[in-house]
Copies of this chain bind each other. A is one copy, B any other.
Amino acid sequence: MLEDTLKRMKKAQTFLANASNDLKNRALDAVAEMLNKNRDNILKQNGLDLENAARENLPDPIIKRLKFDNQKMDVVIDGIRGLMRLEDPANKVIFKRELDDGLILTRLSVPIGVIGVIFESRPDALVQIATLCIKSGNGAILKGGREAAHTNRILADLIVKAITDVDKLFADTVFLIETREDVAEIITFNKYISLIIPRGSNEFVQYIQKNSTIPVLGHADGICHVYFDRTLDLDKAVKIAVDSKTQYVSVCNAAETFLVHKEIAGQLLPVLNKALKAKGVNVKGCARTKKIIPDIEDATDKDWKTEYLDYIISIKIVDTIDDAIDHINTYGSGHTDAIVTLDNDSARKFRELVDTANVMVNCSTRFSDGYRYGFGAEVGVSTNK
Protein backbone atom coordinates (compact mmCIF):
# COMPACT_ATOMS: atom_id res chain seq x y z
CA MET A 1 0.00 0.00 0.00
CA LEU A 2 2.56 2.55 1.17
CA GLU A 3 4.92 1.24 -1.50
CA ASP A 4 2.36 1.98 -4.23
CA THR A 5 2.07 5.54 -2.98
CA LEU A 6 5.84 5.92 -2.93
CA LYS A 7 6.05 4.62 -6.50
CA ARG A 8 3.51 7.22 -7.59
CA MET A 9 5.38 9.91 -5.66
CA LYS A 10 8.65 9.06 -7.36
CA LYS A 11 6.93 9.47 -10.73
CA ALA A 12 5.18 12.69 -9.73
CA GLN A 13 8.46 14.08 -8.40
CA THR A 14 10.06 13.60 -11.81
CA PHE A 15 7.33 15.82 -13.22
CA LEU A 16 7.78 18.36 -10.43
CA ALA A 17 11.55 18.34 -10.90
CA ASN A 18 11.10 19.64 -14.45
CA ALA A 19 8.12 21.92 -13.87
CA SER A 20 8.76 25.53 -14.83
CA ASN A 21 9.22 28.17 -12.16
CA ASP A 22 6.00 29.74 -13.39
CA LEU A 23 3.99 26.56 -12.91
CA LYS A 24 5.50 25.94 -9.48
CA ASN A 25 4.72 29.53 -8.48
CA ARG A 26 1.12 29.12 -9.67
CA ALA A 27 0.87 26.05 -7.45
CA LEU A 28 2.28 28.02 -4.52
CA ASP A 29 -0.12 30.86 -5.18
CA ALA A 30 -3.00 28.40 -5.17
CA VAL A 31 -1.83 27.07 -1.81
CA ALA A 32 -1.71 30.57 -0.33
CA GLU A 33 -5.21 31.32 -1.65
CA MET A 34 -6.59 27.99 -0.46
CA LEU A 35 -5.24 28.44 3.07
CA ASN A 36 -6.51 32.02 3.18
CA LYS A 37 -10.02 30.99 2.10
CA ASN A 38 -10.14 28.15 4.63
CA ARG A 39 -8.95 29.97 7.73
CA ASP A 40 -12.12 29.11 9.66
CA ASN A 41 -11.89 25.40 8.89
CA ILE A 42 -8.23 25.28 9.80
CA LEU A 43 -8.79 27.13 13.08
CA LYS A 44 -11.64 24.76 13.90
CA GLN A 45 -9.46 21.69 13.35
CA ASN A 46 -6.67 23.30 15.32
CA GLY A 47 -9.20 23.87 18.10
CA LEU A 48 -9.75 20.09 18.30
CA ASP A 49 -6.00 19.55 18.70
CA LEU A 50 -5.85 22.26 21.37
CA GLU A 51 -8.75 20.64 23.26
CA ASN A 52 -6.99 17.29 23.23
CA ALA A 53 -3.77 18.94 24.36
CA ALA A 54 -5.59 20.60 27.28
CA ARG A 55 -7.22 17.30 28.19
CA GLU A 56 -3.83 15.58 28.17
CA ASN A 57 -2.30 18.41 30.21
CA LEU A 58 0.46 18.99 27.66
CA PRO A 59 3.06 21.55 28.80
CA ASP A 60 2.59 25.21 27.85
CA PRO A 61 5.48 25.45 25.34
CA ILE A 62 3.96 22.60 23.30
CA ILE A 63 0.52 24.20 23.36
CA LYS A 64 2.10 27.47 22.25
CA ARG A 65 3.74 25.75 19.31
CA LEU A 66 0.59 23.83 18.49
CA LYS A 67 -1.67 26.87 18.34
CA PHE A 68 -2.34 27.97 14.78
CA ASP A 69 -4.11 31.33 14.93
CA ASN A 70 -4.78 34.03 12.35
CA GLN A 71 -1.48 35.70 13.12
CA LYS A 72 0.53 32.54 12.43
CA MET A 73 -1.58 32.01 9.31
CA ASP A 74 -0.57 35.48 8.08
CA VAL A 75 3.10 34.63 8.63
CA VAL A 76 2.73 31.34 6.77
CA ILE A 77 0.95 32.95 3.80
CA ASP A 78 3.55 35.75 3.68
CA GLY A 79 6.21 33.04 3.66
CA ILE A 80 4.65 31.42 0.59
CA ARG A 81 4.57 34.78 -1.21
CA GLY A 82 8.24 35.26 -0.34
CA LEU A 83 9.06 31.81 -1.68
CA MET A 84 7.37 32.69 -4.97
CA ARG A 85 9.72 35.66 -5.36
CA LEU A 86 12.87 33.51 -4.99
CA GLU A 87 14.57 32.44 -8.19
CA ASP A 88 14.09 28.85 -9.30
CA PRO A 89 16.71 26.70 -7.52
CA ALA A 90 16.22 23.77 -9.93
CA ASN A 91 17.85 23.14 -13.29
CA LYS A 92 20.23 26.06 -13.01
CA VAL A 93 23.35 25.74 -15.15
CA ILE A 94 26.13 25.79 -12.54
CA PHE A 95 28.78 25.76 -15.20
CA LYS A 96 29.40 24.82 -18.79
CA ARG A 97 32.74 23.88 -20.30
CA GLU A 98 33.77 22.75 -23.78
CA LEU A 99 36.01 19.74 -23.12
CA ASP A 100 36.80 19.17 -26.76
CA ASP A 101 35.44 20.05 -30.17
CA GLY A 102 31.69 19.37 -29.91
CA LEU A 103 32.03 17.85 -26.42
CA ILE A 104 30.30 20.11 -23.94
CA LEU A 105 30.10 19.49 -20.20
CA THR A 106 27.18 21.14 -18.38
CA ARG A 107 26.52 20.89 -14.65
CA LEU A 108 22.91 21.49 -13.60
CA SER A 109 21.38 21.90 -10.17
CA VAL A 110 18.76 19.19 -9.75
CA PRO A 111 16.21 18.46 -7.02
CA ILE A 112 17.07 15.71 -4.54
CA GLY A 113 14.03 13.49 -5.17
CA VAL A 114 11.37 12.46 -2.69
CA ILE A 115 12.23 13.69 0.81
CA GLY A 116 10.75 12.39 4.04
CA VAL A 117 10.54 15.06 6.73
CA ILE A 118 9.56 14.18 10.27
CA PHE A 119 8.92 17.29 12.29
CA GLU A 120 7.69 18.49 15.64
CA SER A 121 4.24 19.75 16.68
CA ARG A 122 4.22 23.03 14.75
CA PRO A 123 1.55 22.97 12.04
CA ASP A 124 3.17 25.99 10.36
CA ALA A 125 6.22 23.76 9.74
CA LEU A 126 4.06 21.51 7.57
CA VAL A 127 3.16 24.38 5.24
CA GLN A 128 6.75 25.69 5.15
CA ILE A 129 8.22 22.30 4.31
CA ALA A 130 5.61 21.38 1.71
CA THR A 131 5.91 24.71 -0.12
CA LEU A 132 9.73 24.71 0.01
CA CYS A 133 9.68 21.23 -1.49
CA ILE A 134 7.34 22.33 -4.29
CA LYS A 135 9.51 25.33 -5.10
CA SER A 136 12.68 23.22 -5.14
CA GLY A 137 11.15 20.36 -7.16
CA ASN A 138 11.25 17.74 -4.41
CA GLY A 139 8.47 15.37 -3.42
CA ALA A 140 7.52 15.71 0.28
CA ILE A 141 6.48 12.99 2.68
CA LEU A 142 5.37 14.77 5.82
CA LYS A 143 5.02 13.39 9.34
CA GLY A 144 4.07 15.92 11.99
CA GLY A 145 3.61 15.64 15.73
CA ARG A 146 0.75 13.47 16.95
CA GLU A 147 -0.63 16.43 18.94
CA ALA A 148 -1.24 18.38 15.73
CA ALA A 149 -3.01 15.54 13.89
CA HIS A 150 -6.25 17.39 13.03
CA THR A 151 -4.49 20.57 11.94
CA ASN A 152 -1.90 18.69 9.88
CA ARG A 153 -4.57 16.66 8.16
CA ILE A 154 -6.59 19.65 6.99
CA LEU A 155 -3.46 21.56 5.98
CA ALA A 156 -2.12 18.65 3.92
CA ASP A 157 -5.54 18.10 2.34
CA LEU A 158 -5.86 21.76 1.37
CA ILE A 159 -2.33 21.90 -0.04
CA VAL A 160 -2.83 18.78 -2.16
CA LYS A 161 -6.21 20.08 -3.36
CA ALA A 162 -4.76 23.48 -4.28
CA ILE A 163 -1.81 22.15 -6.30
CA THR A 164 -3.90 19.45 -7.98
CA ASP A 165 -6.32 22.13 -9.18
CA VAL A 166 -3.37 23.79 -10.92
CA ASP A 167 -2.12 20.55 -12.50
CA LYS A 168 -3.31 17.01 -11.83
CA LEU A 169 0.26 15.77 -12.05
CA PHE A 170 1.06 17.59 -8.79
CA ALA A 171 -1.31 15.23 -6.95
CA ASP A 172 1.31 12.82 -5.65
CA THR A 173 4.04 15.31 -4.82
CA VAL A 174 2.91 15.90 -1.23
CA PHE A 175 1.85 13.10 1.09
CA LEU A 176 1.02 13.08 4.79
CA ILE A 177 1.77 10.04 6.95
CA GLU A 178 0.41 9.85 10.46
CA THR A 179 1.79 6.88 12.38
CA ARG A 180 5.13 5.78 13.77
CA GLU A 181 4.67 2.51 11.90
CA ASP A 182 4.58 4.45 8.64
CA VAL A 183 7.81 6.20 9.62
CA ALA A 184 9.47 2.88 10.43
CA GLU A 185 8.36 1.63 7.03
CA ILE A 186 9.33 4.57 4.84
CA ILE A 187 12.89 4.75 6.16
CA THR A 188 13.57 1.39 4.54
CA PHE A 189 12.41 2.40 1.01
CA ASN A 190 15.69 3.71 -0.36
CA LYS A 191 14.43 2.89 -3.83
CA TYR A 192 11.84 5.68 -3.79
CA ILE A 193 13.06 8.10 -1.13
CA SER A 194 16.34 9.96 -1.48
CA LEU A 195 16.64 11.74 1.85
CA ILE A 196 15.18 11.60 5.35
CA ILE A 197 15.17 14.75 7.50
CA PRO A 198 14.32 13.97 11.11
CA ARG A 199 13.78 16.93 13.40
CA GLY A 200 13.33 16.62 17.13
CA SER A 201 15.16 15.09 20.06
CA ASN A 202 18.68 13.64 19.88
CA GLU A 203 17.34 10.18 20.63
CA PHE A 204 14.87 10.40 17.78
CA VAL A 205 17.48 11.59 15.25
CA GLN A 206 19.80 8.81 16.36
CA TYR A 207 17.03 6.22 16.05
CA ILE A 208 16.42 7.30 12.45
CA GLN A 209 20.14 7.37 11.64
CA LYS A 210 20.59 3.85 12.95
CA ASN A 211 17.55 2.37 11.24
CA SER A 212 17.36 4.15 7.91
CA THR A 213 18.87 2.74 4.74
CA ILE A 214 18.29 6.18 3.21
CA PRO A 215 20.78 9.04 3.73
CA VAL A 216 19.73 11.09 6.76
CA LEU A 217 20.13 14.83 7.09
CA GLY A 218 20.10 15.50 10.78
CA HIS A 219 22.22 16.47 13.69
CA ALA A 220 22.24 15.22 17.20
CA ASP A 221 23.66 18.02 19.36
CA GLY A 222 23.98 21.75 19.32
CA ILE A 223 26.68 22.64 21.83
CA CYS A 224 27.55 26.18 20.80
CA HIS A 225 30.25 28.36 22.37
CA VAL A 226 31.03 32.02 22.66
CA TYR A 227 34.70 32.83 23.26
CA PHE A 228 35.47 36.23 24.79
CA ASP A 229 38.94 37.28 23.67
CA ARG A 230 41.61 39.30 25.50
CA THR A 231 40.49 42.58 23.94
CA LEU A 232 36.85 43.30 23.31
CA ASP A 233 34.04 45.82 23.47
CA LEU A 234 32.57 45.09 26.90
CA ASP A 235 29.12 46.40 26.10
CA LYS A 236 28.89 44.45 22.85
CA ALA A 237 30.26 41.34 24.57
CA VAL A 238 27.48 41.35 27.15
CA LYS A 239 24.80 41.92 24.49
CA ILE A 240 26.12 39.06 22.35
CA ALA A 241 26.36 36.80 25.41
CA VAL A 242 22.81 37.52 26.57
CA ASP A 243 21.37 37.14 23.08
CA SER A 244 23.27 33.90 22.41
CA LYS A 245 22.08 32.37 25.68
CA THR A 246 18.61 33.74 26.29
CA GLN A 247 16.98 34.89 23.06
CA TYR A 248 15.47 31.38 22.62
CA VAL A 249 16.97 28.77 24.92
CA SER A 250 15.43 25.59 23.48
CA VAL A 251 17.07 25.77 20.05
CA CYS A 252 20.26 24.24 18.70
CA ASN A 253 22.02 27.55 17.98
CA ALA A 254 21.69 28.87 21.54
CA ALA A 255 25.00 29.07 23.44
CA GLU A 256 25.72 26.49 26.15
CA THR A 257 29.26 27.45 27.21
CA PHE A 258 31.14 30.74 27.45
CA LEU A 259 34.94 30.67 27.28
CA VAL A 260 36.63 33.73 28.73
CA HIS A 261 40.26 34.81 28.26
CA LYS A 262 41.92 35.17 31.68
CA GLU A 263 42.97 38.78 30.97
CA ILE A 264 39.40 39.97 30.37
CA ALA A 265 37.73 37.76 32.98
CA GLY A 266 38.07 40.25 35.88
CA GLN A 267 36.34 42.99 33.89
CA LEU A 268 33.81 40.93 31.99
CA LEU A 269 32.55 38.28 34.39
CA PRO A 270 30.89 40.49 37.04
CA VAL A 271 28.95 42.47 34.41
CA LEU A 272 28.12 39.33 32.47
CA ASN A 273 26.97 37.49 35.58
CA LYS A 274 24.65 40.35 36.49
CA ALA A 275 23.15 40.55 33.01
CA LEU A 276 22.59 36.79 32.85
CA LYS A 277 21.08 36.63 36.33
CA ALA A 278 18.72 39.46 35.36
CA LYS A 279 17.43 37.19 32.58
CA GLY A 280 16.99 34.30 35.03
CA VAL A 281 20.00 32.32 33.84
CA ASN A 282 21.53 29.76 36.21
CA VAL A 283 25.28 30.43 35.89
CA LYS A 284 27.81 27.63 36.43
CA GLY A 285 31.55 28.10 36.29
CA CYS A 286 34.99 26.53 36.63
CA ALA A 287 37.04 27.08 39.80
CA ARG A 288 38.77 30.17 38.36
CA THR A 289 35.46 31.67 37.30
CA LYS A 290 34.08 31.14 40.81
CA LYS A 291 36.97 33.09 42.28
CA ILE A 292 35.77 36.17 40.38
CA ILE A 293 32.00 35.59 40.68
CA PRO A 294 31.51 33.35 43.73
CA ASP A 295 27.68 33.36 43.68
CA ILE A 296 27.48 30.66 41.00
CA GLU A 297 27.35 26.88 40.83
CA ASP A 298 30.27 24.54 40.05
CA ALA A 299 30.72 23.48 36.46
CA THR A 300 32.18 20.00 35.98
CA ASP A 301 33.47 18.11 32.95
CA LYS A 302 29.90 16.94 32.38
CA ASP A 303 28.77 20.52 31.83
CA TRP A 304 31.11 21.03 28.88
CA LYS A 305 29.35 18.11 27.17
CA THR A 306 25.81 19.19 27.98
CA GLU A 307 23.28 20.83 25.68
CA TYR A 308 21.11 22.46 28.34
CA LEU A 309 18.43 23.88 26.04
CA ASP A 310 17.50 25.85 29.14
CA TYR A 311 18.33 28.98 31.15
CA ILE A 312 21.69 27.52 32.21
CA ILE A 313 25.18 28.51 31.08
CA SER A 314 28.61 27.06 31.89
CA ILE A 315 31.62 29.40 31.97
CA LYS A 316 35.30 28.50 31.77
CA ILE A 317 38.37 30.75 31.96
CA VAL A 318 41.08 29.95 29.42
CA ASP A 319 44.71 31.09 29.29
CA THR A 320 44.92 31.56 25.55
CA ILE A 321 42.80 31.60 22.40
CA ASP A 322 44.40 28.24 21.56
CA ASP A 323 42.97 26.76 24.75
CA ALA A 324 39.55 28.10 23.78
CA ILE A 325 39.84 26.56 20.31
CA ASP A 326 40.96 23.23 21.81
CA HIS A 327 38.00 23.26 24.16
CA ILE A 328 35.56 23.94 21.32
CA ASN A 329 37.10 21.28 19.08
CA THR A 330 36.92 18.78 21.95
CA TYR A 331 33.43 19.45 23.31
CA GLY A 332 31.67 21.33 20.52
CA SER A 333 29.20 19.85 18.10
CA GLY A 334 30.48 21.71 15.03
CA HIS A 335 27.26 23.71 14.72
CA THR A 336 27.95 27.35 15.61
CA ASP A 337 30.74 28.98 17.61
CA ALA A 338 31.42 32.66 18.14
CA ILE A 339 34.34 34.89 19.05
CA VAL A 340 34.02 38.36 20.53
CA THR A 341 37.21 40.31 19.88
CA LEU A 342 38.73 43.58 18.71
CA ASP A 343 41.76 41.75 17.33
CA ASN A 344 41.66 40.80 13.63
CA ASP A 345 44.38 38.19 14.08
CA SER A 346 42.35 36.46 16.78
CA ALA A 347 39.28 36.52 14.56
CA ARG A 348 41.20 35.00 11.66
CA LYS A 349 42.80 32.33 13.85
CA PHE A 350 39.47 31.41 15.38
CA ARG A 351 37.84 31.22 11.95
CA GLU A 352 40.60 29.01 10.61
CA LEU A 353 41.08 26.63 13.52
CA VAL A 354 37.64 26.11 15.01
CA ASP A 355 36.10 23.06 13.34
CA THR A 356 32.51 24.26 13.04
CA ALA A 357 29.93 24.92 10.35
CA ASN A 358 29.14 28.50 11.39
CA VAL A 359 31.81 30.82 12.78
CA MET A 360 30.48 34.07 14.21
CA VAL A 361 32.76 37.08 14.71
CA ASN A 362 31.27 39.64 17.08
CA CYS A 363 27.84 38.26 16.41
CA SER A 364 25.34 36.17 18.37
CA THR A 365 25.21 32.41 17.74
CA ARG A 366 21.47 32.90 17.22
CA PHE A 367 22.16 34.40 13.79
CA SER A 368 23.13 30.96 12.54
CA ASP A 369 19.94 30.28 10.62
CA GLY A 370 19.05 29.68 6.99
CA TYR A 371 16.24 32.22 7.09
CA ARG A 372 18.45 34.93 8.58
CA TYR A 373 21.14 34.08 6.03
CA GLY A 374 18.58 34.84 3.32
CA PHE A 375 18.18 31.30 2.00
CA GLY A 376 14.48 30.86 2.85
CA ALA A 377 13.22 28.77 5.77
CA GLU A 378 15.25 25.83 7.02
CA VAL A 379 13.93 22.32 6.50
CA GLY A 380 16.72 20.61 8.41
CA VAL A 381 20.18 21.06 9.82
CA SER A 382 23.21 18.82 9.38
CA THR A 383 26.62 19.16 10.99
CA ASN A 384 28.05 16.34 8.88
CA LYS A 385 30.93 17.13 6.58
A residues touching B (Cβ–Cβ < 8 Å)? 14, 17-18, 97, 99, 103, 105, 112-113, 194-195, 215, 329, 352-353, 355, 363, 367, 372-374, 384-385
Contact = CB atoms under 8 A, between A and B. Distances in A.
A146 B73 CA distance: 63
Nearest to A114: B385
Given A99-B373, A215-B384, 12 more contacts: A14-B329, A14-B352, A14-B353, A18-B352, A18-B353, A103-B363, A103-B367, A105-B373, A113-B355, A113-B385, A195-B385, A215-B385
- When all copies of this chain in the complex are counted, the total is 2
Contacts of A18: 352-353
A14 B215 contact: no
Nearest to A215: B384
B17 A352 contact: yes
11 contacts: A14-B329, A14-B353, A18-B352, A97-B373, A97-B374, A99-B372, A103-B363, A103-B367, A105-B373, A105-B374, A195-B385
Nearest to A105: B373
Q: Which of A105, A367, A372 has the most CB of B within 10 A?
A: A105
A372 B99 CA distance: 8
A376 to B, nearest CB: 14
Nearest to A138: B385
A66 B351 CA distance: 43
B195 A112 contact: no
Given A105-B373, A373-B99, A112 B385 contact: yes
A17 B215 CA distance: 27
Nearest to A103: B363
Nearest to A112: B385
Contacts of A353: 14, 18
A371 to B, nearest CB: 11
A355 B192 CA distance: 11
A14 B355 contact: yes
Contacts of A215: 384-385
A40 to B, nearest CB: 38
A372 B104 CA distance: 11
Contacts of A329: 14
A374 B104 CA distance: 12
Contacts of A99: 372-374
A237 to B, nearest CB: 16
Nearest to A14: B353
Contacts of A105: 373-374
Contacts of A372: 99
A107 to B, nearest CB: 9
- 10 closest pairs, A vs B, by CB? A194-B385, A18-B352, A112-B385, A14-B353, A215-B384, A105-B373, A113-B385, A195-B385, A97-B374, A99-B374
Contacts of A14: 329, 352-353, 355
Nearest to A210: B213
A372 B105 CA distance: 10
Q: Which of A18, A105, A385 has the most CB of B within 10 A?
A: A385
A111 to B, nearest CB: 9
Contacts of A374: 97, 99, 105
A122 B312 CA distance: 55
Contacts of A352: 14, 17-18
Nearest to A17: B352
A137 to B, nearest CB: 11
